[in-house]
Amino acid sequence: MSDFIVGIVGFLFTIMILSYLIGDNFLFRLAVHIFVGASAGYVATVAIHQVIMPYLIVPLIQGSMKERTLLAIPLILFVLMLMKISPRLSWMGGPAVGYLVGAGAAVAISGAVLGTILPQAGAAAQPFDWLHNPNPLGTLINGAIMLVGTVTTLVYFQFGAHRAEDGSVKRNALVEALAWVGRLFVALTLGVLFAGVFSAALTALIERINSLLALFGF
């Protein structure tokens, strides 16, 4: 029974959202506002039950002395962060926000270096390991093309330039030439990604329509 109700409700919301294809209308706005409210409530629930309770409240109540002592700092910061709810006391949330920014900066830096720069640099060199490759020539050619794509794409984003006598800002000829090639690679990559996004969206559309038809026994 509940499945049926859920199916009907889901059907209605799907129709309301798809009505946006005809034009912006109140059904769409209604569905969106209900959805935004419901998803916010859902995420808040998850945060309370799966973060605040197990990470903070339960250890404070049931944890050892050491755990409680360790939790004093996050507890203070937690309370300070809650001060941001009130515009008057918002300034007190500074330290908590500062903590998040500092942690975020560190995560961003380490993520960029350890997660992307080093692994991707290594991966770019991988195809050139022709000694341990069954098809060295093909791999080398593909590797070279990929390397050219990677290098020229990086060059394309070069920001530094010099000011010409006529006041215009230009990059030097070599950089411009490489950047032009890089621009093609960037466009090509974005084109492939765009096709991927479209594929995902189309699958979602098919899944939605399929669910609508399923309700009518198709």
Residues 79-118 that bind other proteins (CB under 8 A): 79, 81-82, 84-85, 87, 90-118
Interactions with other proteins, residue window 10-69 (CB under 8 A)? 10-11, 13-14, 17-18, 20-24, 29-52, 54-56, 58
CB 16 to other proteins: min, Å: 8
CB 147 to other proteins: min, Å: 6
Say if CB 80 and CB 93 are below 8 A apart. Answer: yes
Tell me the sheet residues that pair with 169.
163
- What does the alpha-carbon distance between residue 125 and residue 150 come to, in Å, rounded to a whole number? 11
- What does the alpha-carbon distance between residue 192 and residue 77 come to, in Å, rounded to a whole number? 45
Is 2 one of the binding residues for other proteins (CB under 8 A)? yes
Angle between helices 136-156 and 118-125 (to 10 degrees): 140
How many residues interact with other proteins (rule CB under 8 A)? Answer: 153
CB 80 to other proteins: min, Å: 8
- What does the alpha-carbon distance between residue 13 and residue 31 come to, in Å, rounded to a whole number? 6
- What does the alpha-carbon distance between residue 5 and residue 28 come to, in Å, rounded to a whole number? 20
Among residues 25, 69, 130, 177, the one that binds other proteins under rule CB under 8 A? 130
177 or 206: CB nearest other proteins: 206
CB 166 to other proteins: min, Å: 13
Among residues 142, 172, 177, 215, the one that binds other proteins under rule CB under 8 A? 142
Angle at the Cα of 16 (from 42 to 208), degrees rounded to 5? 80
Letters for 187-216 (x = contact with other proteins by CB under 8 A, - = none) are: xxxxxxxxxxxxxxxxxxxxxxxxx-x---
- What does the alpha-carbon distance between residue 134 and residue 146 come to, in Å, rounded to a whole number? 19
Is 182 exposed, middle or buried, given 0-12, 13-18 or 19+ CB atoms closer than 10 A? buried
CB 153 to other proteins: min, Å: 3
Among residues 160, 165, 166, 173, the one that binds other proteins under rule CB under 8 A? 160
- What does the alpha-carbon distance between residue 184 and residue 201 come to, in Å, rounded to a whole number? 25
CB 68 to other proteins: min, Å: 14
116 or 177: CB nearest other proteins: 116
